[in-house]
Amino acid sequence: MGLIAGWCLRYRWIVVGTWLIVLVAGGVLAGHEGARYHQAFGVAGTDSQLATDALATVVPGGLPDTEMIVVRARDGDINAPAVRQRIAAMTARVARLPGVATAIDPYGPAGSLLLGVEPVARDGHAAIVGVVMKGAATSPDLAAVRRLITTARAYDGPDLQVEMSGIGTTMIVQGDISVTPIALAVAAATIILCLVVRAPGGIAVCALVAAATAGGVRATGAADRLVRRVAVCGGSGGELVGAARAAGADVLVTADGRHHYVLDAVGEHPIAVVDVAHWASEWPWLAHAAARLEAGLRTRGRTVSASVSAIVTDPWRLHVPSR
């Protein structure tokens, strides 16, 4: 792993370029392939396939897609007048949607004929609204099903819980991709990228992220300060506030800021100071230091593999918040 890390740091732009190519290629491939969920019916020669073929001769286009809206009374009874009125309004609105053939009132006699079971639960807490779509069960009209889901879930509220079930619903839910893990991955990759290309801002962010210590992170200076340039000093750099400001920095990220140094420097210079644990301020650049060490020794004919320890050496183990 140490050799791989060293190579990646030495040829960081090749690594960055390769990842960008893979990212673009993956996006193009994902768009070409479509959703990750696919549904296929029948295996040639089986009884179920023969029955499906026979049904197609009787019902042109095959059986229709049947979706189910499952409703539950959050408090009280599903038969309460106010709840029944809300379900009736939802059923009537759903039935008028494009792509919907009909929606069955769960309180009417047709509900059990479509579902094969009583649509209203015996305990009076839940009911099922059967929805017959115009699309076939083997190839649901997903655009129509999306409209159905949006319309039905609009009736979810304090008194009524609304959920969806059915072939089309399953295809949509399984095919959708959550944005949250992608956003987290992009954020992590951005931080790593900033560190790899030795951006000072990226190193500062990594230092803050690595500060998983008892002392945590503390700062002083104007909280609404506009930051254009960040100075970073690993280890005890509180006495360098003046030098950082003279270099044009708006923020100094360092560790072990001594009381009088920081107090006097912030009073004299318009700069903010972010103070992290000593170990946390030094660890982010060790991988780069290891790569430079290997490269320097290699030019002298010596082959050395340097490894960076991930052990937290911060001596402080307990922190009691002031409030």
- Per-block mean pLDDT, blocks of 10 residues, the chain (323 long): 63 74 73 52 61 62 81 86 90 92 86 76 88 84 91 88 87 64 59 52 49 66 77 84 85 82 75 82 80 84 80 70 60
- Which pLDDT score is estimated for 55? 57
Our measurement of the distance from residue 208's CA atom to the centroid of its chain's CA atoms, rounded to an integer in Å, reads 22
- Which string of DSSP letters, residue by residue, matches 76-145? S-TTSHHHHHHHHHHHHHHHTSTTEEEEE-TTSTHHHHHHSS-SB-TTSSEEEEEEEEEEESSS--HHHH
Residue with tokens 């023969």: 50
- How far is the CA of 272 from the CAs of 213, 227, 267, in angstroms? 21, 9, 10
Domains, in order of start, for the chain: 62-175 (3.30.70.1320), 182-298 (3.40.1390)
- Which pLDDT score is estimated for 89? 92
> How far apart are the C-alpha atoms of 207 and 278, rounded to whole Å?
10
Buried b / exposed e over 290-304, threshold 16 CB at 10 Å, is: bbeebeeeeeeeeee
- Which pLDDT score is estimated for 145? 92
**H-assigned helices in 164-270:** 167-175, 179-196, 200-210, 241-246, 259-268
- 64 and 101 Cβ atoms separated by less than 8 Å: yes
- Which pLDDT score is estimated for 211? 47
Strands 218-220 and 160-166: unpaired
- Which pLDDT score is estimated for 304? 81
For the stretch 211-233, pLDDT in tens is 455 567 778 776 677 788 888 88
The structure's pTM equals 0.43
- Which pLDDT score is estimated for 269? 74
